[in-house]
Amino acid sequence: MKDTRFMTARQVAGLFEVSPSTVLRWAKDGRLPALVTPSGRLRFPRESIEEMIKVSVPRERAGEGGTT
């Protein structure tokens, strides 16, 4: 069974609309919380990433309207 508490760099990149290498750089710089698996891969806590998305996505993109 897959653990859905964590996300891959590719999944996080899709949410932020950036490349996976940008996500990895942000993690290295400490801008994103990440855990290292025993195999050396990074995983990102879903709850933390989703909270960051809520505060970083402009209201228009989040579907909360806005006038044009």
Question: HEC states along the chain?
Answer: CCCCCEECHHHHHHHHCCCHHHHHHHHHCCCCCCEECCCCCEEEEHHHHHHHHHHHCCCCCCCCCCCC
Task: Report pLDDT digits (tens) over 26-55.
Answer: 999 999 999 999 999 999 999 999 999 888
Topology, domain 6-56: Multidrug-efflux Transporter Regulator; Chain: A; Domain 2 (1.10.1660)
Indicate yes or no: pTM above 0.85: no
pLDDT of residue 65: 56
